[in-house]
Amino acid sequence: MNSPIPARLAALRQAMRQHNVSACLVPSADPHLSEYLPEHWQARVWLSGFDGSAGTLIVTARHAGLWTDSRYFTQAEQQLAGSGIALMKQRATYAPEHLDWLEQHSHDGDVLAIAGDSLALASQKRIEQRLAAVGVRLRTDLDLPGLTWADRPAIPHAPVVEHPLTYACTSRADKLARLRAAMRKLGATHHLLSSLDDIAWLTNLRGSDVECNPVFLAHLLIEAEGRATLFVDRGKLNDTLVAALANDDIAIANYAAIADALTELRTDHRLLLDSSRVVSAIAAAIAPVVTRIDTANPSTLFKACKSADELSHIREVMRRDGAALVRAFRRLEDRLAAGMTQTELDVDTLLREERSAQPNFVGESFATIAGYQANSALPHYRATAQAHSSLQRQGLLLVDSGGQYLGGTTDITRVLALGPTTTEQRRDATLVMKGLIALSRARFPKGASGPQLDALARAPLWASGMDYGHGTGHGVGYFLNVHEGPHGIRPPVSGAALVALEPGMVSSIEPGLYKPARHGIRHENLVVVIEAEHSEFGEFYAFETLTLCPFDRRVLEPSLLNPEERAWLDDYHARVRAALSPLLEEADHAWLEWHCSPLGD
């Protein structure tokens, strides 16, 4: 089949010539700067054919390049083949980042176009500063991909629903009161929110406009002494919900009316916004006379620190999710033992069936990654009907999946031995496990950040001359986005702010190791930061492991684990057995007992 990409690039270049544009940059973003995008804003995917979650496309008259990170190198090479678009590797030695490349290949008088509804205000300022040195002008008023995208999908129109207070735990009135206290402390009279998870959390509302993320398209403008206005398609809300919001002084306005509302701000108003979470097109409506307070959204930290009640729900969700995985993995093993043909797609189906049977399950928290053997070496692999592998009774199967429940969000990775494994596979799996255990057992002083702890998970791999190219951990929402800030566990980045880990923050711990065309390993649990002790040196924190599901001991080489590591794994499995046993019967219970037996048995 001929690729449609060259024709799309040709149409884009024609539009560039018509508007005297030298280069067009197409980011992976929408008006809310979401990680996962509604199809309407997947212009980079449409133009390039590369559908990884992270990437930046730059098109000039003679060159087209797609920048992405090491998680997607193999996938991008495959999907860009024959498109006329070159893979440009991010964070690779001697490879220029996209702004460096633009500086090197631009000339005085050139014009760069980026759609303002997909560009953070902070990014706009940074790009303008970088390119001014070479005489390049930035235009954000042109959506050139949109001009050439004839069959562009419509903006989603899914209904918005209430997150029951039983699970939300804190009323939206109380959340807004806490936010307004933070606004007054910062001297703000108004606060603009465009980030969808902040809005969903503050309003105790949920939607399904973004695949796997229970959020809805909206903006929120909050007055410190007055009402809040939710800018959302009115047709998504029923009358009962509108009345409930009105009782909490939240008015409803049309989604597209946010710009008009911002133009009404006066000289004496002080607007709080996070320029990294608000797009250029929205910010352009704010009059220059309005004082801006540019800082992180207070709600981002508020929702990151889960309350005791939220954590209680999360712990129960982890039990139910763990039981679902036990049933799915046991069924998979039984099918293979019976000689049934099973593929990576069947793994996805089994997980969905078992999770759907659990109380308060809403949907997946991301598209399941089920990679067998060489496919497991692709960190963000996704099997499709057109391209997937059949499972055999040998080697490794990596399964990374998660669920959305009214009481929490899960994300877990397990590596299963479907039959005999190699010495190399077991060694690699054990080194990764040593990293997971080291970080899970860590104690650290108050004020420590994820980048300060990241090396604990990598040290066993470093000692063997190996590493992985992704972060070690990301924040996780509460029946919200599976990737949540402001915290994270990743290598330090020059100039990036260090966000302290605080009690109640939920994070993944997921070290990995990937050997292209051979195998990949990733072990993942979710943890929560808890208080550990107070000594003469101050307060110290630790991690409590939340995820409850056995690791497959058959993928490990026990002789490579020291006594402390073996004890941690045995203790973890004893806790898993105690938590999940009451939820399982017969064959599933026997499967759990075997997989949770002490490592030495």
Backbone angles phi, psi at 33, to 5 degrees: 55, 45
Report pLDDT for 264: 96
The band of 94, judged by pLDDT with boundaries at 50, 70 and 90, is confident
CA-based nearest residue to 302, from 178, 194, 203: 178
**Over 70: is that where the pLDDT of 304 sits?**
yes
Residues of the chain with CATH 3.40.350.10: 5-148, 161-304
**Over 70: is that where the pLDDT of 408 sits?**
yes
Specify the pairing of strand 403-405 against strand 408-409.
antiparallel
The burial class, CB within 10 Å (0-12 / 13-18 / 19+), for 82 is exposed
When the candidates are 3.40.50.2020, 3.40.720.10, 3.40.350.10, 3.30.160.100, the CATH number that belongs to 161-304 is 3.40.350.10
pLDDT digits (tens, 9 = 90+) for 97-153: 999 999 999 999 999 999 999 999 999 999 999 999 999 999 999 999 999 999 999
Which amino acid, one-letter code, is at 211?
E
Give mean pLDDT, residues 274-290. Answer: 97
Contact at 8 Å (CB) between 402 and 411? yes
Report pLDDT for 92: 79
- 129 Cβ contact list (under 8 Å, min separation 6): none
As a whole number, the mean pLDDT across the chain is 96
CATH number listed for the domain at residues 308-595 = 3.90.230.10
The band of 1, judged by pLDDT with boundaries at 50, 70 and 90, is low
Report pLDDT for 601: 52
Q: What angle do CA 417, 418, 423 make, to 5 degrees?
A: 45
C-alpha 185: how far from chain center:
31
Give mean pLDDT, residues 410-427. Answer: 98
Give the neighbor-by-neighbor strand order of the sheet with 408-409: 361-364, 403-405, 408-409
Q: What is the CA radius of gyration of the chain?
A: 25
Specify the pairing of strand 538-545 against strand 443-445.
antiparallel
**Over 80: is that where the pLDDT of 2 sits?**
no
Residues of the chain with CATH 3.90.230.10: 308-595
Measure the CA dihedral 566/568/571/577, to 10°: -90
CATH number listed for the domain at residues 5-148 = 3.40.350.10
Burial per residue of 149-171, b for 16 or more beta-carbon CB atoms within 10 angstroms, e otherwise: beeeeebbebebbbbeeebbbee
pLDDT digits (tens, 9 = 90+) for 519-554: 999 999 999 999 999 999 999 999 999 999 999 999
Contact at 8 Å (CB) between 44 and 56? yes
